[in-house]
Amino acid sequence: AFLSESVGFLFMNALAVTCRLLLVRRYLTTSLSQVAYTFDAGPNAVLISHNRKAAALLLQRLLFYFPPQADADLNSYVIGDKTILQDAGIQNVKDIEALTPPPEIKDNTQTQKYRGDVSYFICTRPGRGPVVLTDESRSLINPETGLPK
């Protein structure tokens, strides 16, 4: 649940806590939950959406709250599957600056932004899944020891 204070919550860094609170605010202003979150092996938030439109709206919100430095290269700030930028209506850093405040900000007053606090966003899609390799030379694992090559 979004509001639980499980063990994972206790180990989040300040940026991850901020991201979580912004997601909770979004979650509480909608009737359906469209985004899930978890954490990788460290304090990095991993946000998941099964719906491409919800993912594009999420990226807009994240870029609104966590814009890059003014001199940032968008290709270095959003990496991976960049097609979602098109869905979010973003072609360059100026488009990020022009984003309107999210609807959960009722009075559109000055909102705190965390410029430069996020190093980059990685956008991905589900892959094709596991593949059986017939050519063992392509494997990343030694077939005899089971250890990485």
pLDDT (0 to 100) of residue 32 = 43
**Which whole-number Å values give the CA distances from 130 to 123, 124, 126, 127, 133, in the listed order?**
20, 16, 11, 9, 9
Q: Are strands 121-123 and 78-80 parallel, antiparallel or unpaired?
A: parallel
Supply 144's token pair. Answer: 């005899």
Domain ranges of the chain: 7-126
Cα-flanking dihedrals φ and ψ of residue 148, to 5°?
Answer: -60, 145
Q: Please give the CATH superfamily to which domain 7-126 belongs.
A: GHMP kinase, C-terminal domain (3.30.70.890)
Cα-flanking dihedrals φ and ψ of residue 33, to 5°?
Answer: -85, 125
**In tens digits, what is the pLDDT along the chain, a chain of 149 residues?**
344 444 444 445 666 666 666 666 655 555 345 777 777 776 677 778 888 888 888 889 889 988 999 888 999 999 999 999 999 999 999 999 999 887 767 665 667 888 988 888 889 888 888 888 888 888 888 888 888 88
Q: pTM of the entire structure? A: 0.69
pLDDT (0 to 100) of residue 2 = 41
pLDDT (0 to 100) of residue 4 = 43
pLDDT (0 to 100) of residue 78 = 92
